[in-house]
Chain A
Amino acid sequence: MQDLTRGCKFSEHMFLFWLICAMLIATSRRQVVTQVDLLNKVRILADAAKYDVSCSSSGSTRSNKAGGVGNAAAAGICHSWSADGRCISLLKILMTNICAYDCAYCINRATSDVERAMLSPEEVAEITINFYRRNYIEGLFLSSAVFRSPDETTERMIRALEILRREYRFNGYIHVKVIPGTSPALTTRLGFLADRLSVNIELPSPQSLHALAPQKSSEAILGPMGQIHDQIHESRETRLAVRGATAYVPAGQTTQLIVGATPERDHQILQLSEKLYQSFQLKRVYYSSYIPTVSHPNLPSLFTAPPLRREHRLYQADWLLRFYGFSAREILDDRHPDLSLDVDPKSDWALRHLDQFPVEINRAPYEMLLRVPGIGLRSAQRIIAARRAGTVDFDLLKKIGVVQKRARHFITCQGKFYGEASQDEQLIRAHLVADSPSGKDSGLGQISLFDLSLPVLSVVSSCAVDSGEF
């Protein structure tokens, strides 16, 4: 019977042992070491790292090894949310903000007047393991300014990771940002210690990069991306042949680009992302609204508000690329170079393709359901399930999570249409804008991590009835 509740065993004897431990704890003493200095460094280097947008730690599943500490869960886990509403999953910190480079958009550039600090590899490892043991974090997201040279900086990061993996036997999640210009040999070593690597594109075109970050070339960015891509591939092959071989970047690579600092249009950005997903098999592209921290002739003025809504729309469009079967050219083209700020990208696409609608909910293929505004991944899967069991009527749609208000203009249920006019773009657009949760999503940079843990519901099912008594 105990098996029913998954191996919960109870032993009086063991509990006594625990009680004694509990008593011991009451005598806990203050640690004498003065850590004020370390605290201050953490403050400076967390501050310097905070404009990195990546909070996702998903993509890797690994059970803990015997005797070690840590595992990586496949669906990202948020451990807290900061006052700006962003998920805190990883300890995101720079090894140092002392930089030899002078990128115009960066607060840590060599000529900037900020407080500087540097953590030793030992300190990085110690803070990470102690945060992890208290369950503050899911793992480490380490990056760094360029201290003297890319290679010297990377050596220090490798050292920190080696201490964590070997001495502390830390098995949790590690994401490292590769410094452009790091030698291939060091990138390889890094890749065998980390779960995820990212090389940041930073700006959406080589011209912009040249204008604002003259010490970084597109080759210095695309080179390592290509290398990591090839090595991930190789490592997968090796691991098929040799069981237990160390994995190289098992959670894949990601990148980040800054939106709003330079004149690129949304369609250029989406085409770039699509190319990155296709040719480098990136796991994610992160978009970060440019927040002016420095004044520079080539940059928006210090009083420019960060384009948060645009960033949000880019994330929605990115979602369409990765999960909804859209191509970048379908979402935007030369005639429509920017995402609409009024309606979400899927609605905008549907409004421009009214000839494909309305679709019948009880017959449309899964791929088409996904293209209906107001129907998400989960509700499309539920529609498919409910269709296996019977017919789907309009009332049921709401009950299984479809946004009826939005979807009604684009569907029929058992032949009946619930919108006002099926082909009138202006009218439908006006309805969608009026019904949109305008103020609600304005601060939303990234879709909540809970949305990432989608159910692995199969669209095809084989189910059976077996009647009888117990």
Chain B
Amino acid sequence: MLVYDFDGSFEGLLSALYQSSVRKEKPDQILARPGLEVNWLDQHVTIETDLAAAEKVARSIRSRISEQAFEHILHVFQTERPERGYWIDRYVRLGFRFGSCVDDHLQEDIIRTVHEQSRRVSRETHRMTGLIRFIRSSAGIYYAKYEPDNNITMFLAPHFADRLADQPWIIHDIRRGVAALYNKKEWILTGTVPAALASWTDCDDVFEDMWRAYHRQIAITERINPQLQRNLMPIRYWKHLTEFSQ
């Protein structure tokens, strides 16, 4: 089996696509190096991240396939699934064959897989725009921690930078150690967040109590349906929701 390995960054994966075109090869797998177990039966090619090459690949995807295809690729990458390299590679190959029509080709398994994975990411992003909960500190900073299935902090940040534009906030993915920081002007994404940040919890905020009271009160007793509630809002998300804490 021909395996390409890359450094785990998006640019790294695009560099791998570039190399496969230069070397006229069709890798069976494209895997991220961190945590990779090398099988001696496989033929490994180590891809160095090449920003200029990645840029080129990105540009041709956007111009020769479509902006929408590029968006799908960005999303699929953030699923962090081991197959993502393979999916993206095959999708891009079909994309260069079918051009901007590629997304019509639902007969191809790979196209449906890419759509499905991309939709999972958009759906979680959409869901999180509602489920993020900020804690307010006395210094007026709003802090939210969460643990999404996909690496979506970069997709969420623009939404909050627009919506909560006049307050400083931090959105912290505590599982990945990634955070978006916003200072009322611009937001940045950082991978170096002190772990201590996550232990911020109690601020004795009256509005938290009020929200809990409101949340309890608004349910109609005659229609109580915990199963439905859990289907709509999976229990793994509850951990960081103000309404279910305490």
Interface residues, chain A, CB within 8 Å of chain B?
1, 4-6, 8-11, 14-15, 17-19, 21-22, 24-31, 33, 35, 38-39, 42-43, 46-47, 49-51, 63-64, 66-71, 73, 75, 77-89, 91-92, 127, 130-131, 133-136, 138, 169, 172, 291, 306, 308, 382, 385-386, 388-390, 392, 396, 399-400, 443-445, 448, 450, 453, 461, 463-470
Determine which of A15, A30, A47, A81 lies in contact with B232 in the assembled complex, contact meaning CB atoms within 8 Å.
A81
The CA of A68 and the CA of B163, in the complex, are separated in Å by 9
Determine which of A68, A88, A131, A388 lies in contact with B166 in the assembled complex, contact meaning CB atoms within 8 Å.
A68
The interface residues of chain A, by DSSP majority, are classed as loop
The CA of A46 and the CA of B66, in the complex, are separated in Å by 48
Contacts known (A42-B214, A81-B229, A463-B99); A50 close to B219, Cβ less than 8 A: yes
Which residues of B have CB within 8 Å of A79? 130-131
The CA of A400 and the CA of B113, in the complex, are separated in Å by 11
Which residues of B have CB within 8 Å of A464? 99-101
The CA of A35 and the CA of B160, in the complex, are separated in Å by 29
Which residues of B have CB within 8 Å of A450? 123, 126-127
Which residues of B have CB within 8 Å of A465? 97-101
Which residues of B have CB within 8 Å of A388? 101, 104
Q: Name, among A31, A82, A172, A392, the residue most crowded by chain B CB atoms within 10 Å (CB to CB).
A: A82
Check A24 against B126 for contact (C-beta < 8 Å): no
B160 to A: closest C-beta gap in Å: 8
Least CB separation from A388: chain B residue: B104
Check A385 against B103 for contact (C-beta < 8 Å): yes
Q: What 5 pairs across the A-B complex have the smallest Cβ distances?
A: A85-B228, A25-B137, A463-B101, A465-B99, A8-B189
Which residues of B have CB within 8 Å of A130? 207
Which residues of A have CB within 8 Å of B202? 28
The CA of A5 and the CA of B11, in the complex, are separated in Å by 10
Contacts known (A82-B218, A83-B224); A14 close to B188, Cβ less than 8 A: yes
Check A443 against B228 for contact (C-beta < 8 Å): yes
8 interchain pairs, CB-CB under 8 A: A10-B190, A18-B170, A39-B206, A46-B213, A70-B163, A78-B130, A81-B229, A399-B106
Check B104 against A134 for contact (C-beta < 8 Å): no
Does B222 have its Cβ within 8 Å of any Cβ on chain A?
Answer: yes
Determine which of B64, B127, B142, B218 lies in contact with A133 in the assembled complex, contact meaning CB atoms within 8 Å.
B142
The CA of A304 and the CA of B194, in the complex, are separated in Å by 57
Does B181 have its Cβ within 8 Å of any Cβ on chain A?
Answer: yes
Check A88 against B215 for contact (C-beta < 8 Å): yes
Check B211 against A131 for contact (C-beta < 8 Å): yes
Least CB separation from A469: chain B residue: B21
Which residues of B have CB within 8 Å of A27? 138-139
Check B135 against A461 for contact (C-beta < 8 Å): no
Least CB separation from B141: chain A residue: A21
Which residues of B have CB within 8 Å of A71? 162-163
A292 to B: closest C-beta gap in Å: 9
Least CB separation from B233: chain A residue: A81
Check A470 against B56 for contact (C-beta < 8 Å): yes
Determine which of B10, B99, B205 lies in contact with A466 in the assembled complex, contact meaning CB atoms within 8 Å.
B99
Which residues of A have CB within 8 Å of B133? 134-136
Which residues of A have CB within 8 Å of B206? 31, 33, 35, 38-39
The CA of A246 and the CA of B222, in the complex, are separated in Å by 42
Does B136 have its Cβ within 8 Å of any Cβ on chain A?
Answer: yes
The CA of A306 and the CA of B129, in the complex, are separated in Å by 33
The CA of A26 and the CA of B202, in the complex, are separated in Å by 9
Check B163 against A69 for contact (C-beta < 8 Å): yes
Least CB separation from B192: chain A residue: A15
Check A69 against B165 for contact (C-beta < 8 Å): yes
Chain B interfacial residues counted at CB < 8 A: 104
Does B175 have its Cβ within 8 Å of any Cβ on chain A?
Answer: no
Which residues of A have CB within 8 Å of B203? 25, 28
Q: Name, among B132, B167, B205, B228, the residue most crowded by chain A CB atoms within 10 Å (CB to CB).
A: B228
Contacts known (A84-B224, A85-B229, A389-B106); A134 close to B135, Cβ less than 8 A: yes
Which residues of A have CB within 8 Å of B136? 133-134
Contacts known (A15-B181, A463-B101); A85 close to B164, Cβ less than 8 A: no
B residues 1-45 in Cβ contact with A at 8 Å: 10-11, 14, 18, 21
Check B214 against A46 for contact (C-beta < 8 Å): yes
Interface residues, chain B, CB within 8 Å of chain A?
10-11, 14, 18, 21, 51, 54-58, 60, 63-64, 66, 74, 96-107, 112, 123, 126-127, 129-139, 141-144, 154, 157-160, 162-168, 170, 181, 183, 186, 188-190, 192, 194, 196-197, 200, 202-211, 213-229, 231-233, 241-243
Contacts known (A18-B181, A84-B224, A291-B220); A68 close to B165, Cβ less than 8 A: yes
The CA of A388 and the CA of B232, in the complex, are separated in Å by 35
The CA of A88 and the CA of B192, in the complex, are separated in Å by 34
The CA of A84 and the CA of B230, in the complex, are separated in Å by 10
Least CB separation from B217: chain A residue: A46
A423 to B: closest C-beta gap in Å: 31
Check A82 against B215 for contact (C-beta < 8 Å): yes
Check A63 against B162 for contact (C-beta < 8 Å): yes
Contacts known (A5-B10, A31-B206, A51-B220); A448 close to B101, Cβ less than 8 A: no
Which residues of A have CB within 8 Å of B165? 64, 66-69
Least CB separation from B111: chain A residue: A389
Determine which of B64, B141, B144, B232 lies in contact with A135 in the assembled complex, contact meaning CB atoms within 8 Å.
B144
The CA of A448 and the CA of B134, in the complex, are separated in Å by 25
Determine which of B127, B142, B215 lies in contact with A134 in the assembled complex, contact meaning CB atoms within 8 Å.
B142
The CA of A192 and the CA of B124, in the complex, are separated in Å by 34
Check A291 against B21 for contact (C-beta < 8 Å): no
Check A4 against B183 for contact (C-beta < 8 Å): no
Which residues of B have CB within 8 Å of A66? 165
Contacts known (A127-B207, A389-B106); A21 close to B168, Cβ less than 8 A: yes
The CA of A79 and the CA of B241, in the complex, are separated in Å by 10
Check A91 against B214 for contact (C-beta < 8 Å): yes
Least CB separation from B189: chain A residue: A8
Check A80 against B189 for contact (C-beta < 8 Å): no
The CA of A81 and the CA of B217, in the complex, are separated in Å by 12
Determine which of B57, B58, B96, B126 lies in contact with A467 in the assembled complex, contact meaning CB atoms within 8 Å.
B96
B136 to A: closest C-beta gap in Å: 6
Least CB separation from B159: chain A residue: A73
Check A46 against B11 for contact (C-beta < 8 Å): no
Least CB separation from B181: chain A residue: A18
Least CB separation from B161: chain A residue: A64
Which residues of A have CB within 8 Å of B158? 6
Check A84 against B220 for contact (C-beta < 8 Å): yes
The CA of A29 and the CA of B213, in the complex, are separated in Å by 22
Which residues of A have CB within 8 Å of B63? 466
